Amino acid sequence: MSPATTKVASSLPASDVLIIGGGAAGMSLALRVAEHAQVTILSKSSLKQGSTYYAQGGIAAVLDPQDTLAAHVEDTLVAGAGLCHRDAVEYTVSRAREAIEWLIAQGVHFTQEHASQNDVPGNYHLTQEGGHSHRRVIHAADATGKAIFESLAAQVLAHPNIRLITNRVAIDLLTGAKLGRPEQGCLGAYVLEEDSGQVLTLPARFTVLATGGASKVYLYTSNPDSASGDGIAMAWRAGCRVANMEFNQFHPTCLYHTQDRTFLISEALRGEGALLRLPDGTRFMPHYHPLAELAPRDIVARAIDAEMKKTGCDCVYLDITHKSPAFIQEHFPTIHARCLKLGLDICTQPIPVVPAAHYSCGGVMVDQHGETDIKGLYAIGETSFTGLHGANRMASNSLLECFVYAFAAAEHINAQLTRIAPTDELPHWDDSQVRDSDEDVVITHNWDEIRRFMWDYVGIVRTSKRLQRARNRIALLQKEIQEYYSNYRVTTPLLELRNLAVVAQLIIESAIARKESRGLHYSLDYPNLAEKAEDTILVPPNFRG
């Protein structure tokens, strides 16, 4: 469907800044530019449905005088297995304290220390997670994301220059190149209004993709349903390069329970001494890494996967029963309450866990300001590739990245507001050649097939044969999906399926291109490290350079 004037569609009022996605990154940027600009935050469901609200762990930052920025940088580089960009790591780590102080000023109540650590600024409790050599993760009990979300959302909802639009789904970006105006960059987006089925044009001087990651491309994931890779897929179709899409982090410990298969068991439990055990009670992590349970996530996830395949067990167990009930309930109230509701008392019983797709380390390529290959289009948070995470994200660096690059993008946008002219009138969506679908079962079937073969063929352990099977399957599905998209009116499930298919293809092609095992990409056919560590960069056919 090409844009053309039609009486059916209409436009929403133009914005100075359009932010697609309302998580930590999107809300932070909105608050940093709203003093100077009219901002629209577009959320495809309620704000609570994003990943931020469900984040348990915390934010990595050097706050203890015994810790150093150099140590945080080194830990990140080690976890990233040679692929982190040192400049991005140093830039992010050096701005962590500023991010924490800003969040505190927004009203985020981080957990206070009651006994020791009186030398920590603000007397905040710091925990230690996998890959970290020091306690440097500041948190709000085990519901850090919820605390951040509630504080930022309150500020966003109260700000007169921020317009929040929920239950609208971005379809595609509008660019000058698409409209025959090559000198112009991103001009806004087409948006589906779910209730009416109407497609609206939303013009903007600057557009920011803050849509989160793409872990919903896998059958088992800790992510909410919204994590369908929308921003990555839209940016790719618009002509942006993506990088390192093969590095999908599988969180080692997702709750294994018939009634709840997406609840994450925070790495902070292992930071406070929880042990991984086989069903017979035997520990196994000391055989895989000197740091045992505190090894980087890729190593822990592969170890669990290997033990499950070796023993035939359905899950392993995370045991923190050696800690007192008072300690557990104070530090992990959310996990304790959620498990108790399911009939599991973590004070007396080990927690059944399995690995699950959790985080996309790759994404849309951006510079230090968060700007993509297209002028006026930014990507921040999990949608982006900054170079921070390398081949494996270190625990609690993700929320940190959200704030640091949201601040950087906001500063860059603010500096240009007086120089970028308002967006001209844009063409409406043309849906005159499509009809309502009577075959929605196709969407459900294709969605399920993608997630299943991605889990089986492009999961924690990969082979060349499995990847080739996945490539063949996604090619066929892409044709089916495009045919469906061309003939029927768009719906949210169709748009998410279309985006998932794009992301799956990018992951598969990136994995095929990497002829080694590094970080989160482990291939039985190429088990060794390559001599030179290089990013996997995919270039779309319409890339303009």
Q: What CATH number does the domain located at 251-357 have?
A: 3.90.700.10
Q: Which two tokens stand for residue 165?
A: 């639009």
Q: What CATH number does the domain located at 441-528 have?
A: 1.20.58.100
What is the model's pLDDT at position 423? Answer: 67
Strand-by-strand arrangement of the 316-319 sheet: 248-255, 351-360, 316-319, 275-277
d(CA 25, CA 52): 9
pLDDT grade for 432, boundaries at 50, 70 and 90: confident
> Tell me: the pLDDT tens digits for 438-484?
777 889 899 999 999 999 899 999 999 999 999 999 999 999 999 99
What is the model's pLDDT at position 223? Answer: 85
Contacting residues for 343 by C-beta, under 8 A, at least 6 apart: none
Q: How far is CA 279 from CA 34, 98, 116, 308, in A?
A: 53, 44, 36, 10
The total of other beta-carbon atoms located within 10 Å of residue 322's CB is: 9
* pTM of this structure: 0.89
Q: Where are the domain boundaries for CATH 1.20.58.100 in the chain?
A: 441-528
Q: Which two tokens stand for residue 67?
A: 């810790």
> Given a cut of 60, is residue 116 above it in pLDDT?
no
Alpha helices in 167-279 (DSSP H): 230-238, 268-271
Q: Where are the domain boundaries for CATH 3.50.50.60 in the chain?
A: 10-246+361-416
> Tell me: the pLDDT tens digits for 136-164?
999 998 789 899 999 999 999 999 999 99
CB burial class (10 A; 0-12, 13-18, 19+) of residue 308? Answer: middle
> Once rounded to an integer, what is the mean pLDDT over residues 485-505?
95
Task: Provide the 8-state DSSP code for 47.
Answer: G
pLDDT grade for 4, boundaries at 50, 70 and 90: very low
The total of other beta-carbon atoms located within 10 Å of residue 51's CB is: 26
Contact yes or no for 381/403 (Cβ under 8 A): no
> Tell me: the pLDDT tens digits for 301-327?
989 988 998 999 989 999 999 999 999
Contact yes or no for 509/468 (Cβ under 8 A): no
Name residue, tokens 């399995």: 354
Sequence letter at residue 357: A
Contact yes or no for 282/311 (Cβ under 8 A): no
Name residue, tokens 């984040």: 55
pLDDT grade for 248, boundaries at 50, 70 and 90: very high
Q: What CATH number does the domain located at 10-246+361-416 have?
A: 3.50.50.60
Q: Which two tokens stand for residue 517?
A: 């095992």
What is the percentage of the chain residues whose pLDDT exceeds 90?
75
What is the model's pLDDT at position 49? Answer: 64
Side-chain half-sphere CA neighbours of 51 within 13 A: 29
> Tell me: the pLDDT tens digits for 12-57?
788 999 999 999 999 999 999 999 999 999 999 776 666 776 677 7
Nearest by Cα to 261 from 387, 356, 344: 356
What is the model's pLDDT at position 121? Answer: 52
> Tell me: the pLDDT tens digits for 407-429?
999 999 999 998 777 666 788 89
Q: Where are the domain boundaries for CATH 3.90.700.10 in the chain?
A: 251-357
d(CA 293, CA 131): 10
Lowest mean pLDDT among 177-186, 256-265, 321-330: 256-265
What is the model's pLDDT at position 181? Answer: 85
> Once rounded to an integer, what is the mean pLDDT over residues 119-137?
82
> Once rounded to an integer, what is the mean pLDDT over residues 330-336?
93
> Once rounded to an integer, what is the mean pLDDT over residues 352-379?
96
Sequence letter at residue 109: H
What is the model's pLDDT at position 424? Answer: 67
> Given a cut of 60, is residue 530 above it in pLDDT?
yes
Task: Provide the 8-state DSSP code for 360.
Answer: E
What is the percentage of the chain residues whose pLDDT exceeds 70?
94
Q: How far is CA 448 from CA 297, 443, 500, in A?
A: 27, 9, 11
Residues taking part in catalysis? 297
Contact yes or no for 51/23 (Cβ under 8 A): yes
d(CA 53, CA 152): 11
